[in-house]
Amino acid sequence: MKPPKFDHFLALDWSGAKGERHRGIAMAIAEADGGPPVLVEPPPRGWSRLEVKEVLADLPPKTLVGADLGISLPYQDAGAFFPGWDETPRSAKKLWAMIDEICADDPYLGAHSFIEHAIAARYFRHGKNREGDRFLLPGSITREGRFRVAEGAQRAQKCRPVSNFNLVGAAQVGKSSLTGMRMLHQLRGKLNVWPMDPVPDRWTPQKGSVLVEIYTGLASRETADLGARTKLLTHEDLNAALSVLDCPPIDAVGEIDDHSSDALLTAAWLRKVADEERRWNPRFLTAEIAWTEGWTFGAL
């Protein structure tokens, strides 16, 4: 597909933590006409997921949103999200609906009810010594869990994704992915999600924005020499990475939290690469994978 032209690039560092407000949520925006990316100022106690959903429901036309969360679960490896469960959905959108329905009473877009569901819980790793009996497929040669095809592509680009069925550790994205899928379900009809939805070829107020899954590690890999580190923790390091993207520096010095630096860098990265056809046409993305597992924007 030929990339559309966007005017705004919004990067979202999401959180699946319990509670209403989260310091771990950050949003940054870069404009197509240039300038450094800027943080979207959060409320005093941090963003709530519901507030972020309101922002995404009312975006200006021609906005590309990059959300750091998994938009689906592994499917292709077993021909099902939940092999052995009669009620397993057959598409990502039906998966979103299932999670949202089971978690209808969980406040703040939480996903605790799904994680602890009598059957669903069997497919997740919940703790160091608590692993569902279906977390691993029969014959698995690794204890890491199941991965999507897109995550295999990430590994080929020297990233280290974690299974969305893993709910343990600082690097896990399982909880943020499940809460994110609730949000995506509630935004249906208001926000196109690539590659499940076609990218609009004509911009209208109703079809004015597109959300893609991002992995901030991809942006870091392409712009920063981090060595053993995985995060940019000073404005100096962040500005050095931004310079690789031909982006003006941010007028600040000293320390910066990793959520803000991830959002700022990724907003600028989206602006830089969004018009590259290869980003929208990864080699291993098929119609079936798009409909079930989705894809990570930038994973080639």
Measure CA 82 to chain center: 21
DSSP code, position 143? S
Q: Dihedral of CA 51/57/60/62: which sign?
A: positive
Please state, in angstroms and rounded to a whole number, the distance separating the CA atoms of residues 25 and 14.
5
Assess whether pLDDT exceeds 70 at residue 226.
Answer: no
Read off the tokens for 147: 């991965």
Over range 234-257, report the average pLDDT.
95
Among the listed ranges 87-91, 144-148, 157-161, 279-283, which one has the minimum average pLDDT value?
Answer: 157-161
Read off the tokens for 244: 């690789």
Q: What residues are paired with 66 via a beta bridge?
A: 11, 212
- pLDDT reported for residue 106: 98
Contacts of 225 (CB under 8 A, 6+ apart): none
Residue 202 placed within a domain: yes
The count of other CB atoms within 10 Å of the CB of residue 132 is: 16
DSSP H or E segment with residue 238: helix 235-244
Residue 226 placed within a domain: yes
Find the domain containing 205 and state its range: 8-71+181-280
Residue 103 placed within a domain: no
Whether the pTM exceeds 0.85: the reply is yes
Residue 275 placed within a domain: yes
3-state class (DSSP) for residue 30: strand
Q: How many independent structural domains does the chain possess?
A: 1
Contacts of 41 (CB under 8 A, 6+ apart): none
Assess whether pLDDT exceeds 70 at residue 182.
Answer: yes
The count of other CB atoms within 10 Å of the CB of residue 69 is: 25
Please state, in angstroms and rounded to a whole number, the distance separating the CA atoms of residues 5 and 223.
23
* pLDDT per position as a tens digit, 17-45: 999 999 999 999 999 999 999 999 999 99
